[in-house]
Chain A
Amino acid sequence: MVFELTNTDVSSANALRRVMIAEVPTIAIDLVEMENNTTVLNDEFLAHRLGLIPLTSDEATNWKRPFEWSSDHDMIETSFSLDVTCTVDGVMDVTSNDLIPMYPEHRVQPANYNTPEEKPIVICKLRRGQQLKLVARARKGIGKDHAKFIPVATAVFQFKPRIVLSHSAMADMTDDEKQAFVHSDPSKTFKFNPITRMVRLRRDGDWHPDPGAG
């Protein structure tokens, strides 16, 4: 999502960016109770990986942080169970689709849960006979506490330039020079109209950031 902020200072934009990254609360797996782990990855390794799985966090605004708990009516956590045994010859993937919410009414589940168009997140790979059985508890937290709670992949801001074309300069240029000017921009901000022989902004005064450039 791109949105425009006007009539304000750089510090406000940066503060918004910093808060979006570090202080917007999300839900992620925080505690893992291992029952059986005969995989090649050790317990804490798996717990770390489970914590990094993104969970749908629309409920985060209604939940409380663990240290804010004050009564039995406060929502602070939900649980997922994982019970996978490899029975086939060959490698079996344990993915985020195997994390079963124990309380579906909480509406917290891994991102793209059981979505056929998207590939699920691989937690671990099993060989014949290996088993993984655990209960994972998810809580609310913020990016400042642990990177797994960061809700955004990235948040950046950029100044939007105001481009004004000088008509007097355009009058002095030949058509070839105008064409060369238009072609020199890889993101095609300008367009040359051969009928009026004028250069104008491609999207009628609107500028969009480079899709590929940094």
Chain B
Amino acid sequence: MNQPDRYVQFLLPEGERKVTYKADTKLKDAGTFSFRSEDHTMGNLLRMQLHSDKATVFAGYRIPHPLEPVMVVKVQTNGTKAPEDAMSHALQDLASEFDHMRSEFERATSDVQR
């Protein structure tokens, strides 16, 4: 009854923003990103990528309620980068890593076909 429609899990409703950012009021260089229509697939990936960034002091993700497709990532940096920059670098690194993976996969599968 309270459960949102199934399509919301992968389709962003009209007027909703995919990502919202809120700077932390009590901590310095910390902030929370809220992703709509995302789940553990992206959450774990982003969290691990943020950990590999030396400027990150804290990075964690959670899904506040299993019925709602909202994913929250909390980031705290050591001051050399803003949390938004850390997140943007993490996303770019992931994009290039998967691009590379895709080209390697295509190369490997075309070799096998030959």
Contact = CB atoms under 8 A, between A and B. Distances in A.
Contact of B10 (A5, A9, A10, A142): A142
Interface in B39-55: 40-42, 44-45, 47-49, 52
A67 interface: yes
Interface in B89-108: 97-98, 101, 105, 108
Given A11-B48, A12-B97, A67 B11 contact: yes
A49 interface: no
B7 A15 contact: no
Interface string A1-45: 001010011111011001100110000000000000000000000
Given A3-B108, A8-B97, A15 B10 contact: no
Contacts of A197: none
A11 B9 contact: no
Contacts, number: 41
A11 B44 contact: yes
A114 B40 CA distance: 40
B9 A15 contact: no
Contact of A145 (B6, B40, B42, B101): B6
Given A3-B108, A18-B40, A11 B10 contact: no
B38 to A, nearest CB: 11
Q: Is the interface of B mostly helix, strand, loop or mixed?
A: helix
A183 interface: no
15 contacts: A3-B108, A5-B101, A10-B48, A11-B47, A12-B48, A12-B97, A12-B98, A15-B42, A18-B40, A18-B41, A23-B10, A67-B11, A142-B10, A145-B7, A145-B9
Given A9-B48, A15-B44, 13 more contacts: A3-B105, A8-B97, A8-B101, A9-B52, A11-B45, A12-B45, A12-B97, A14-B44, A15-B45, A23-B10, A23-B41, A144-B9, A145-B7
